[in-house]
Amino acid sequence: MKEAGYEIAAFGGDGTGPEVVREGLKILAALAEGAPGRWHVTEYPGGGEYFLRTGREWEPEAEAAAHRADAILLGAVGWPGATLPNGDLAGRALVLGLRERLDLFANVRPCRLYPGVTHRISGEYREVWAPKNVDLVIVRENTEDLYTPVRGRLTRAGTTEVAVDTRLITQKGAERVIRYAFELARQRSRGAPEDGVRRLTCVDKSNVLEGCRFFRETFDRVGGEFPEIERDYAYVDAFTQWLVRSPEHYNVVVAPNMMGDIITDLAAVLQGGMGFASGGNIGAEHAMFEPVHGSAPKYAGKNQVNPFATFFAVEQMLRWLGDHHSDRALTLQADRLEAAIARTLAGGRVRTYDQGGQVTTSEAGDRLAAAVRAEAR
Ligand code: IPM
Ligand code: MN
């Protein structure tokens, strides 16, 4: 527990990022009415649009605040035409940069379909996708694999002849994320919806790739320390069909970075779409929480996008702070927020455009803030 309260650095970033973060902060403020002084939020600008305007992705002061903060809340980065001189995404400092510099090695992406939310698979609603069947967490390695900044081009006389990305799987990188996933499977109160079994699925391509063979070997070695967790295996290609066909089989899933990036977007379809998908970038001492949907420039400023992904990111942030500092008060706030979210979504009364409804971004925030206050009584 931290007597002085927790420092939260908030970055709206680009596009719809600031709109959803504003709603997230509204919810934090509503929660704080019952727990004054538990946290202080400071907002900072930054991202691709900021880069186009100022020539900098963010100010040194904002970067220092991110490094100092107890937790970071990030909206999204990415703006049309905003690229760094080397061709990288302008704003990457806030996402990939922080993942690297703060060593946020586990990207934890819960995938749960709440009653009242419609999954986004085309066609008839089927019982197999009923809320009770979708309740998993995907843990994605977050610092290496194809994201290792060991890449480049061979350009001769102005012509690119070769472009290379290096896929690195290290023992340290694989082991710590796999251990994190086993521990999560141990802590989670629920097993897989199908049978209640505490299961950890290793997703890889170890029938072909050496790095994946190493990842799976590491999975088995670390798994030896967790005899109570069932070890389960899937090649990533087969996993994509199994996940959609039988989501109820999955409890916790662990995957290398690039495959994890892809399968978490796929999984989001089961939980109602990207509008509900949040991620926690977790390190040993630092953590950053974000909605996974990105900046969606075409919806920017329209007060239209779904802010629930950000609400789940806030819930993850409070839960992590509670765990990390053994602060029961924060864990209770996370529980309270989750209960309020579930009540707000139930019955499909609060639906934004992506769910076929007309509720605006700020109205969704108002409705949840009211539910949070009601939860306190
Ligand atoms: C994500 C995003 C990022 C990634 C992008 C914005 C760099 O897709 O968080 O999943 O590739 O990791
Ligand atoms: Mn992604």
pLDDT at 4: 84
* Ligand 1 pocket member 292 (CB < 6 A): yes
Distance CA 234, CA 206 (A): 9
* Ligand 1 pocket member 19 (CB < 6 A): no
Q: How close is the Cα of 146 to the center of ligand 1, in Å? A: 12
CA separation, residue 147 to residues 21, 142, 296, 351 (Å): 26, 8, 22, 35
Q: Which residue has its alpha carbon closest to ligand 1 atom 8?
A: 261
Least confident of 32-41, 196-205, 287-296, 327-336: 32-41
pLDDT tens track for 148-157: 999 999 999 9
For a ligand 1 pocket test, name from 74, 79, 109, 261 the mutation site with the most ligand atoms within 8 angstroms of its C-beta.
261
Mean pLDDT of 198-210: 98
* pLDDT band at residue 127 using 50, 70 and 90 as cut-offs: low
Retrieve residue 121's tokens.
């698979």
* Burial readout 36-45 (b: 16 or more C-beta within 10 A, e: otherwise): eebbebebbe
pLDDT at 331: 96
* Ligand 1 pocket member 268 (CB < 6 A): no
Q: How close is the Cα of 171 to the center of ligand 1, in Å? A: 23
User: Is pLDDT of 325 > 60?
Assistant: yes
Supply the pTM of this predicted model.
0.97
pLDDT at 128: 53
Q: Which residue has its alpha carbon closest to ligand 1 atom 9?
A: 292
CA separation, residue 350 to residues 29, 131, 226, 354, 367 (Å): 20, 17, 41, 11, 8
Q: Are strands 151-156 and 159-165 parallel, antiparallel or unpaired?
A: antiparallel
* Ligand 1 pocket member 96 (CB < 6 A): yes
User: Is pLDDT of 239 > 60?
Assistant: yes
Radius of gyration of the chain (CA): 20
Distance CA 187, CA 180 (A): 10
